[in-house]
């Protein structure tokens, strides 16, 4: 897609909006309120999973009204492709000490479940006091996890989506809403 086509994709293809800015905003506030209630007095540490979750993570962090901290891990398994490579690569590790902390991993999307399974195993090794997962999006019927995601924003159909942090080949992360990525525009 050229940058001109990207512009058209953003400006004119409203039919492809899956989740509007307003819907996302409201959901993030709800998730923040619920997490604030559940973790009151526990000073949880949020672990944002880069790159995809950086926008959701920033908004969620500000929707949380209790004391909390944040750190980031960077992993990748999709590269430039629309399907998972099946291998999670660690690109940047966490700096914070998570032992005996209440840890809440923040994902933008759980698709195949490969990333959250990897993260769970990795986090469990450092023995946090509790380990939870929040994901803005969960692909219906696609995710293979042997544990439940504690907080889910939206269950979505099994289509490729971009926007609000989610990319196709590193692009479209800056779209304010979540869009269905139609193969025709690629």
| 111 part of the active site | yes
Q: Determine which one of 93, 100, 108, 111 is catalytic.
A: 111
Site for ligand PRP in 28-47 (CB under 6 A): none
CB 138 within 8 A of CB 152: yes
Is 76 one of the binding residues for ligand PRP (CB under 6 A)?
A: yes
Q: What are phi and psi of 154, to 5 degrees?
A: -140, 140
Out of 115, 134, 163, 181, point to the residue binding ligand PRP (CB under 6 A).
115
SS3 146: coil
Please say which residue, 42 or 180, places its beta carbon nearer to ligand PRP.
Answer: 180
Question: Residue by residue, what is the 3-state secondary structure of 4-48?
Answer: HHHHHHHHHCHHHEEECHHHHHHHHHHHHHHHHHHCCCCCCEEEE
* Span near ligand PRP by CB under 6 A; candidates 5-13, 24-32, 74-82, 176-184: 74-82
CB of 120 to ligand PRP, least distance (A): 12
Query: What is the per-residue binding string for ligand PRP in 150-179, x denoting contact by CB under 6 A?
Result: -----------------x------------
Q: CA-to-CA distance for 8 and 21, rounded, in angstroms?
A: 18
Q: How far is the CB of 63 from ligand PRP (least distance, A)?
A: 20
Strand positions, DSSP E, the chain? 17-19, 45-50, 69-76, 89-92, 102-110, 130-139, 151-156, 161-162, 178-180
Q: Name the residues that contact ligand PRP, by CB under 6 A.
A: 49, 51-52, 76-78, 84, 107-115, 167
Enzyme catalytic residues = 111
């Amino acid at each position: 897609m050229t940058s001109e086509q990207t512009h058209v994709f953003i400006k004119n293809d409203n039919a492809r909006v899956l989740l509007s800015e307003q819907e996302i905003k409201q959901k993030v506030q709800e998730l923040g309120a619920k997490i604030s209630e559940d973790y009151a007095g526990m000073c949880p540490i949020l672990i944002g999973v880069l790159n995809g979750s950086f926008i959701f993570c920033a908004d969620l962090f500000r929707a949380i009204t209790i004391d909390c901290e944040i750190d980031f891990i960077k992993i990748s398994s999709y590269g430039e492709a629309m399907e998972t490579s099946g291998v999670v690569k660690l690109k940047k590790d966490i700096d914070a000490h998570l032992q005996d902390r209440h840890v809440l991993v923040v994902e933008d999307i759980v698709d195949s479940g490969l990333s959250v399974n990897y993260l769970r195993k990795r986090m469990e090794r450092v023995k946090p006091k509790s380990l939870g997962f929040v994901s803005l999006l969960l692909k219906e019927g696609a995710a293979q996890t042997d544990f439940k995601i504690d907080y889910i924003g939206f269950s979505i159909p099994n289509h490729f989506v971009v926007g609000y942090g989610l990319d196709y080949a590193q692009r479209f992360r800056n779209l304010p809403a979540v869009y269905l990525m139609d193969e025709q525009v690629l």
